[in-house]
């Protein structure tokens, strides 16, 4: 029973981490930054995730807290990567004033690993901010790490 919970938690983590890998292309620099941040999660490159996160201390702390349990099991997670279907995931730039953008992620993705399949509905608005001429993911980013 404990093993089944661990498999389910791992599937959900991987699904949360791998939202990006085959999403629809296109969009401006704020969408590209969002894709890059999510790709870093998909690659389990947590240092790069933090580099692509805005300077807001509250946001950074929340993301670090959510990533912390996975740092020790990073190698295990990499061996459990499965098959992902991201064809139903969409990125949409709702607003952009040149300094702050709202990016909406919506749709469905499916993860298959360890003989199990997990479908997740994704509907999240992320705030992306421009810091030193670089777009970085900010508000609501940690919501993608909840499961």
Predicted TM-score (pTM) of the model is 0.73
Query: pLDDT digits over 85-103, tens only?
Result: 566 779 999 999 999 999 9
Give the sheet arrangement for strand 116-131, strand by strand: 83-96, 100-113, 116-131, 134-137
- Mean pLDDT in residue range 19-35: 68
Distance between CA atoms of 30 and 96, rounded to whole angstroms? 8
CA-derived radius of gyration, the chain? 15
- Which structural domain, as residue segments, surrounds residue 100? 2-145
**CATH code assigned at 138:** 3.10.450.100
Query: pLDDT digits over 46-92, tens only?
Result: 899 999 999 999 999 999 888 888 777 767 766 666 555 566 779 99
Residues 6+ apart with CB under 8 A from 44: 17, 70, 74, 77, 78
Contact 144, 16 (CB under 8 A): yes
Task: Indicate the number of domains in the chain.
Answer: 1
What's the Cα-to-Cα distance from 44 to each of 36, 41, 56, 66, 70, rounded to whole Å?
12, 5, 22, 13, 9
- Give whichever of 12-26, 63-77, 83-97, 122-136 has the largest mean pLDDT: 122-136
Average pLDDT, the chain: 77
């Amino acid at each position: 029973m404990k093993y089944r919970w661990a498999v389910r938690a791992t599937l959900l983590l991987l699904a949360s981490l791998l939202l990006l890998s085959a999403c629809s292309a296109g969009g401006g620099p704020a969408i590209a930054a969002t894709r890059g941040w999510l790709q870093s999660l998909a690659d389990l490159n947590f240092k790069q995730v933090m580099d692509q996160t805005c300077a807001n201390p509250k946001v950074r702390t929340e993301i670090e807290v959510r990533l912390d349990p996975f740092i020790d099991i990073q190698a295990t997670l990499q061996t459990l990567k499965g098959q992902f279907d991201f064809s139903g995931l969409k990125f949409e730039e709702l607003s952009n004033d040149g300094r702050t953008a709202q990016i909406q992620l919506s749709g469905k993705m499916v993860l298959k690993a360890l003989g199990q399949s997990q479908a997740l509905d994704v509907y999240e608005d992320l705030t992306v901010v421009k810091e030193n001429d670089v777009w970085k993911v900010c508000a609501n980013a940690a919501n993608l790490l909840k499961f």
